Structure 1
Amino acid sequence: MKTYVITGGTDGIGRAVAQRYLEEGQEVVIVGRSADKGEAWLDAAAQRGAVARAHFMHADLSRLSRTGAVLDSIRSSFAKVDALVLCARHFRTTRLVTAEGFENTFAHFYLSRFVLSHGLAHLLESADNPVILNIARPGGEGEIHWEDLQLAREYDGHRALMQGGRLNDLLGVAFTQTRPGTKVRYVLLNPGTVNTSFSGQYTPDAMAQLDTIRRSAQSVQEAMAPILKVLDDPPIAPLSAFVRGVPLDPHGPGFTIEEARRLHLHTQRLLAG
């Protein structure tokens, strides 16, 4: 039996992935901010006779203390993790600083993925064919604001997400660079625009734009094929990137080792502080 850990597992792509592998007889851990949705997922699993293999961890991953608690719980409960699927994303039109002093999108979309990727590496190494699937936006054109990574001077929700995609690209590069010889496969994947719940805080204007996007977005089921392909048969290369199933060179512009090292060291200093 394999063990899957899925953030953002109460909605959209994360929930669909969780449901797929639970139905296949695997052990599935979902992490989400909605206790009601998590309990509903557990109830559905119980009705199918799969409650022993279904686990829900309630956490707002913009809080590093909660991310750390999830990490500790997984470490104490499981001997291995076969796949870590990072789906959680939360849009904010206005800037919010968490109680721990981090900009919300930066903490939720990047820092939590850094902590879980590196924090679960040992359990992943204990699996036969482990993979981290980071569903972000590889190869995006967002700018990294090196002198203001948390956008204190000029915040914009779209800019924060676009930068977050770039930071996750560098997270993948740094993961493989700092763990030479690892058997964990790190995969960055952009599924395209998908009609999910679009979790977040929106102004009326932003919500109107979102309604327009929804009308042309692909369904969750349409987006699943490249995701399941990666999870069922992880690539051989230590680092891979895909846009809607089409391979993207993870060694070109936007994936430089120098920038990845710079971000890795900066993140370590932030977390240590």
Structure 2
Amino acid sequence: MKNILITGSTDGIGKLVAIKLASEGHSVYVHGRNEGKVEKTVAEIKFSTKNENVDGFVADLSELDAVKRMAEEVNAKLSHIDILINNAGIFKTAEILSKDGLDLRFVVNYVAPYMLTKELLPLLEKGTDARIINLSSAAQSDISYAAMIGKQRVSLNASYAMSKLALTMWSFRLAKELEKVAVIAVNPGSLLNTKMANEAYGQHWSPAEKGADIQYDLAVDEAHKGVTGKYFDNDRGGYANAHQDAYNEDAINQLIDFTNKLLRN
């Protein structure tokens, strides 16, 4: 049985995959930004799956200090992590910028998973067939760093697509750096029946289970064992090409340098 941490798992596809994994007896750690909701989700999953090995962590991923605290709590509590699913993401919010003055989508969708994963790598390297699954999107577009640090106003669609490209670019770089841990970026499917999609667009094309099922497969299915540095496009039903910048080493170097400087400030 595996130790599995899933961010953004108090609802949507994160919660569905948490239930599916817990029902098989894995130790599952959910995450959310609301303590009451996390406690309720943990209790619900324990009851429905008859698995007592379910616990939770609380952190607002738009606040980098909170991400750091969560990483410290995870490191103190767990001996190892076999699967990390960076599922948390946001699109439509009342606020455009984070408390640090950065684009909120950029922080939650990219900087937070970057920071959390970096802090948890020692645990992942102790895992068995360890895998990192990063939730990307079909929406990926050229990054404006001025927009990402709140100096240029762009549409929600644009900043979301930039954040998801950043996540994908970093996923490919991380895969090259890690020998013992596989990294896959995944588009779980466009306009799934989730709160995020319905709030953003008022409609959906596919059931949320479509996204949960591919997260599950990429996390534990033997068919994906050893696969790393790839992008799985669930709209196309297989591994596919991401945005061209995900393969541009100069662009990736610029992103990583920018991110590291941001986190040092």
Q: Establish whether TM, by shorter chain, passes 0.5.
A: yes
The count of aligned residue pairs is 260
1:183 alignment partner in structure 2: 180
The answer to whether 1:136 aligns with 2:136 is: yes
Unpaired segments of 5 or more residues in structure 2? none
| Equivalent position amino acid for 2:255 in 1 | L
Distance 1:251 1:195, change over 3 A: closer
The question of 1:255 aligning with 2:243 is answered no
From the superposition, tell whether residues 125 and 63 of structure 1 become closer, same or farther in structure 2 (CA, over 3 Å).
same
1:196 aligns with: 194
* Cα offset, 1:103, TM superposition: 2.4
Q: Is the 8 A contact 2:175 2:229 kept in 1?
A: yes
**Alignment of 1:269 onto 2:257:** no
CA positional deviation for 1:154 = 1.7
Residues 104, 163 of structure 1: alpha-carbon distance in 2 compared, 3 angstrom cutoff: same
Letter in 2 for 1:191: P
Task: Kindly provide the CA deviation profile for residues 186-240 of structure 1, in whole angstroms up to 9, marking residues without a partner as x.
Answer: 10000112111118xxxxxx95x622x22xx211223333222211233423311
Aligned-residue sequence identity (percent) comes to 21
SS in 2 for 1:25: coil
Aligned to 2:121: 121
SS in 2 for 1:176: helix
Aligned residue identity for 2:254: R
CA distance in 2, matches of 1:96, 1:141: 19
Q: Secondary structure at the match of 2:85?
A: strand
Partner Cα separation in structure 1 for residue 172 and residue 46 of structure 2: 39
Alpha carbons 1:93, 1:156 under 8 Å: kept: no
Deviation at 1:183, TM superposition (A): 1.6
Aligned counterpart, 1:146: 145
The SS at the match of 2:195 is coil
Match of 2:111 in 1: 111
- The match for 1:203 is none
* Equivalent of 1:221 in 209, 224, 241: 209
Return closer, same or farther for 1:272/1:90 CA change in 2, 3 Å cut-off: same
SS at the partner of 1:67? helix
Aligned positions of 1:1-273 closer than 5 A: 1-48=1-48, 50=50, 52-92=52-92, 95-137=95-137, 140-177=139-176, 179-180=177-178, 182-192=179-189, 193-198=191-196, 210-211=201-202, 213-214=203-204, 217-233=205-221, 234-244=224-234, 245-249=237-241, 253-273=245-265
Native 8 Å contact 1:239 1:250 kept in 2: no
Please state whether the residue corresponding to 2:149 is helix, strand or coil. Answer: coil
| Structure 2 contact 140–243 (Cα < 8 Å) conserved | no
TM-score, scaled relative to structure 2 = 0.89
Cα deviation digits, residues 166-200 of structure 1 (max 9, x gap): 101111122123x25x121110000112111118x
- Residues 185, 237 of structure 1: 8 Å contact kept: yes
Q: 1:68–1:93: structure 2 CA closer, same or farther, 3 Å change rule? A: closer
Root mean square deviation, CA, Å: 2.3
